[in-house]
């Protein structure tokens, strides 16, 4: 009996972790912040730990992308950037990188929710890399 109850509880937790609202902006669904400081356009895709796509979209240079869907504290997620460059009217992919991020638990005036923040950079030798910038304040500020 206890094993069945434990299995049911695990099923509910997993189902809640994969649920989310496609509607209005809400911290209660969790929040992943992606800052693009690479100087290039990037196609950003977020995935859950099973590599199922959660969300995607363009991030122009010096733009912050707020993605509020399905992020549960202490769970692992992947953020992928496909960095693009336009030459002679044709868009070319110049990099394809990802980072594994563990959402932290944030508790503030918005409630309790999962939070992650990463920044896409271009290195001094031209390569691209992510940094995991989530802090204890769960800051969404661009700095």
- At 121, the pLDDT band (50, 70, 90 cuts) reads very high
Hey, CA dihedral for 105, 111, 115, 121, is it positive or negative?
A: negative
Phi, psi of 3, deg, nearest 5: -70, -40
Contact, 46 vs 78, CB < 8 A? yes
Phi, psi of 5, deg, nearest 5: -65, -40
**What count of Cα atoms within 13 Å lies in the side-chain half-sphere of residue 2?**
0
Which one has a higher pLDDT value, 13 or 98?
98
What is the tens place of the pLDDT at every residue in 68-119?
778 888 999 999 999 999 899 999 999 999 999 999 988 877 788 888 999 9
Contact, 64 vs 35, CB < 8 A? yes
Task: Give Cβ neighbours of residue 62 (< 8 Å, ≥ 6 apart).
Answer: 36, 37
- At 30, the pLDDT band (50, 70, 90 cuts) reads confident
- Helix, strand, coil shares, percent, the chain, to 5: 15, 50, 35
What is the tens place of the pLDDT at every residue in 39-56?
999 999 999 999 999 999
pTM over 0.85, yes/no: no
- What pLDDT is recorded for position 142? 53
In the three-class reduction of DSSP (H, G, I as helix; E, B as strand; rest coil), residue 3 is classed as: helix
């Amino acid at each position: 009996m206890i094993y069945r109850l434990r299995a049911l509880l695990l099923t509910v937790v997993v189902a809640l972790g994969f649920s989310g609202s496609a509607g209005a902006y809400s911290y209660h669904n969790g929040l992943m912040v992606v800052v693009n400081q690479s100087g290039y356009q990037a196609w950003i895709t977020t995935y859950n730990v099973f590599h199922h796509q959660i969300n995607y979209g363009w991030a122009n240079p010096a733009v912050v992308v707020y993605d509020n869907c399905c992020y549960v504290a202490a769970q692992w997620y992947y953020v992928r950037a496909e960095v693009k460059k336009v030459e002679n009217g044709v868009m070319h992919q110049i990099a394809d990188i990802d980072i594994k991020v563990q959402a932290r638990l944030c508790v503030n005036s918005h409630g309790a929710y999962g939070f992650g923040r990463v920044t896409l950079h271009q290195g001094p030798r031209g390569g691209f890399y992510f940094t995991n910038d989530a802090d204890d304040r769960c800051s969404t500020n661009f700095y």
